[in-house]
Amino acid sequence: MRKSIFDSKGEEKLFKRLKTYWSKYLDVFPQLPPRNVFGYDEIMKSDMKTGAKNFLLTTSFDFVVCDINNHTPLLVIEFDGVSGGFSRDAEYFTQKTFRYDPYRKLKMKTKLQACRDFNIPAVVVSYQECDLLEESEQMINILDVIIADAIEKSEHAQNFGKYTDMLAEAYNYGGQDSVDDAMIEIEIMSERANPIKRKILELTKKFPHWGTQFYFAKPDEYGNLSASFNLNIDIETIEGEMFTKRLLSVNVSIRQAGVSTNDPLFLLNTIGEYCLAMKAKKALGFDWKNWSEAREKAEWVRY
């Protein structure tokens, strides 16, 4: 008899993280059968092949993250500790193959495709997405940012009708300029539902100054995305070139994991800004005196 419902210590550790860090916002259900997420009848009526249907009726999802109020599924999470794989846009990526489970990749792809067919966001992650980031002062990991993004997208979807009405009213009132303003307002409203972006805003509003600048590096040979996030202050033109004072800098690198194709870029931006804010809090705090001293000591660098 198995002593644990989890397949590995890594999976068990992830569950504890989800239950503690996200308990205020979400319910997390481990080892949940797809029929509980999609519905048995819906699976049987789908256009999937018989083999895929049978697999979905006998397997389970590692974790299903649900709205804490109505238990609507927000995100399906598969932890791939064995193969170290990840997913993006319903496609599974791994460089490992295992003789004991030659159909592992097909199983992952079937789960991801089923989630896409039933409009349930899903992602495959491994240790790289679940280990706490040193740059964040050990506060968040990449999966946390993926979950926060899922909450934000769900909030936007739930209020889609309301936002559509806002845009229509804005256009009738002032044309395209008013629509542009309304779109910014809608974006801000949606981001307020994102706990990590909300934390960034809470921190940066307390700082005497906040201005970030980042540069995307080309993906490396493994497809990882990297960027340098810099806290700059002051801008001057010296001999025809623009210079700035750089108070702090943090480098972030992530695999291109996410629910959709564009997710990694947005996730990287959120992670970088969070890490930079945490570094500023630790190094400078909220006292204007500390920031002024750092400003005086900082050297001019090309903008």
pLDDT in tens, 174-184: 777 776 766 77
pLDDT at residue 10 is higher than 70: yes
Q: Which pLDDT score, from 0 to 100, does residue 38 have? A: 98
Is residue 78 within 8 Å of residue 114, measured between CB atoms? no
pLDDT at residue 48 is higher than 70: yes
CA distance 251 to 227: 6
pLDDT at residue 160 is higher than 70: no
First to last CA, the chain: 62
Tokens 């509003």 sit on residue: 205
Locate 270 and state its tokens. 């959120």
Q: What is the pLDDT of residues 181-236, one digit of tens each?
A: 667 766 777 778 899 999 999 999 999 999 877 777 778 777 799 999 999 998 88
Predicted confidence band at 130 (pLDDT cuts at 50, 70, 90)?
very high
Percentage of residues of the chain with pLDDT beyond 90: 67
Cα–Cα separations (whole angstroms), residue 87 to 84, 111, 255: 11, 11, 10
What's the average model confidence in pLDDT over 149-172? 77
Q: Which amino acid is at 160?
A: F
Is residue 75 within 8 Å of residue 259, measured between CB atoms? yes
Q: What rounded mean pLDDT belongs to the chain?
A: 90
Is residue 44 within 8 Å of residue 53, measured between CB atoms? yes
